[in-house]
Amino acid sequence: MTQLQENLERVRANVAAAAEKAGRDPRSVRLLAVSKTFPVADILEAHEAGQLEFGENRVQELETKVPDGTPDIIWHLIGHLQSNKAEKAVELAEYIHSVDSVKLLNKIDAAAAKHGKIQKILLEVNVSGEESKFGLSGWDALRETAEHALALSNIQLLGLMTMAPLDADAAVLHTTFGGLREFRDRLEREFSVALPELSMGMSHDYAAAIAEGATIVRVGTAIYGARDYSKKA
């Protein structure tokens, strides 16, 4: 077993332990291996160890990452998506986590219709209110955007996504991740729909996210090691 595969096993065990501590079935939490800046060889190594769901931040990088001979890999686009890249994102990704405007929804819906596809999406919410983060701010913007998403024929709205502040303490993590869950619950009541997915938690805070109901955790560094941003793929 390689170092990367050992890291992957450790993260899987920690995710399961965090779920059990929260009184949840470990199978209710999916591990998304975020492979940004890492080579295809690392993706194949993780895939060999049974990892099937991978996340990329940028459409341009995702284009270069889809390995041949791995049709069982499920790709998630998790980074900010510009509307002019929507069609390529629809072509490549099964899930798009970072939808944050009606304009982007319309672009994705049109691209999905063109490709004969129902695109799975999450709405990104800026729960923490940080100016540096993308995402919908506040209930009114979220409600309006969700209502629009639910009316589109080629969009399947599955839930919400957020990021916590980088150096957040336990109280802030609780407020951020718990806040996303509360937004999701409110949308479910408002529109009488099921929104099963909460994408939240990364290498440094996924245990706190799982405690608040995360169903998808986005983990990169804890699997692949520290990133060298001078070597972008």
Main-chain phi, psi angles of 30, to 5 degrees = -100, 135
Hey, what are 211's tokens?
A: 């405690």
In order, the DSSP letters of 51-117 are --EEEES-HHHHHHH--TT-TT-EEEE-S---GGGHHHHHHH-SEEEEE--HHHHHHHHHHHHHTT-
pTM for the whole structure: 0.95
User: β-strands 95-99, 119-124: how paired?
Assistant: parallel
- Residue type at 99 in one-letter notation: V
DSSP designation for 136: B
Which residues does 82 contact at the CB level (< 8 Å), separation at least 6?
none
30-88 pLDDT, tens digit per residue, is: 999 999 889 999 999 999 999 999 999 999 999 988 877 788 999 999 999 999 999 99
Q: Which pLDDT band holds residue 216 (cuts at 50, 70, 90)?
A: very high
Domains of the chain, first to last? 3-223 (3.20.20.10)
